[in-house]
């Protein structure tokens, strides 16, 4: 995930001090998970979240190789948004069975047409799936948006429904990275160092993989 994350240039101070859309106002709009979050002003969040051919290909290939996915494997994306990563998996690995879940009705309505039928509306803390139903469950840039009461349940749910698991979240290794994270984020509720995240994993008995994004 890091190479994709680092392609975005960030002006942290303008994010906080924008005269029309200061961060607190942007956060209020973003947390509605609607048009403003996905396709509204770039100062709020994505500024137009569209499918870009090839953008997620490298991530899909790494997932397939590392987790030994094959045709017929069942994969769940928690917080899938518009389903672009799911679509990329189906493109790179024909026959893979994909499922997604997201809290945003707007994102599902505007999801990639190839995977839209396989996306459910729901939350990470209460998954409507059977125990060990999926060969791989992954979540990219979602779990840090949950409050403590939701995060505990979400990690337990990932462990319940997935044979293999992976998540990626925002974190920090220094006070500078913490400040950048605080300045830039608009939906994050978990401001945890790697050691703090390890505490969560221990207490939820999460046995899967994880990685971090840092705002350097």
Question: What is the per-residue pLDDT across 151-169, written as a single tens digit (0 to 9) for each?
Answer: 999 999 999 999 999 999 9
What fold, for 2-214?
Answer: Rossmann fold (3.40.50)
Rounded Cα gap, residues 205 and 49, in angstroms: 34
With vertex at residue 156, the alpha carbon angle to CA 146 and CA 76, rounded to the nearest 5 degrees, is 80
Domains of the chain: which residue ranges? 2-214
Rg (CA), the chain: 17
Pick the closest to residue 165 from 142, 144, 135 (CA basis): 135
Q: pLDDT for 169-200, tens place per residue?
A: 999 999 999 999 998 899 999 999 999 999 99
Cα 103–chain centre separation? 12
List Cβ neighbours of 185 (8 Å cut-off, separation of 6 or more).
27, 170
């Amino acid at each position: 995930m890091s190479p994709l994350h680092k392609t975005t240039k960030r002006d942290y101070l303008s994010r906080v001090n924008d005269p029309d859309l200061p961060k607190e106002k942007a956060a209020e709009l973003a947390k509605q998970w609607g048009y403003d979050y996905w396709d509204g002003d770039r100062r709020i969040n994505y500024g137009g979240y569209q499918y870009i051919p090839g953008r997620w290909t490298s991530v899909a290939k790494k997932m397939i190789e590392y987790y030994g996915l094959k045709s017929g494997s069942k994969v769940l994306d928690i917080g899938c948004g518009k389903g672009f990563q799911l679509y990329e998996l189906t493109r790179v690995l024909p026959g893979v069975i994909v499922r997604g879940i997201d809290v945003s009705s707007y994102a599902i309505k505007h999801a990639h047409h190839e995977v839209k039928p396989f996306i459910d509306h729901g939350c990470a803390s209460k998954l409507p799936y059977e125990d060990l139903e999926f060969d791989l469950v992954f979540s990219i840039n979602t779990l840090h948006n949950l409050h403590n009461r939701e995060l505990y349940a979400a990690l337990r749910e990932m462990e319940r429904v997935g044979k293999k698991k992976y998540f990626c979240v925002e974190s920090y290794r220094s006070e500078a990275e913490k400040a950048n994270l605080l300045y830039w984020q608009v939906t994050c509720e978990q401001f945890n160092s790697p050691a703090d995240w390890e505490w969560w994993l221990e207490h939820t008995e999460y046995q899967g993989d994880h990685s971090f994004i840092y705002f350097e």
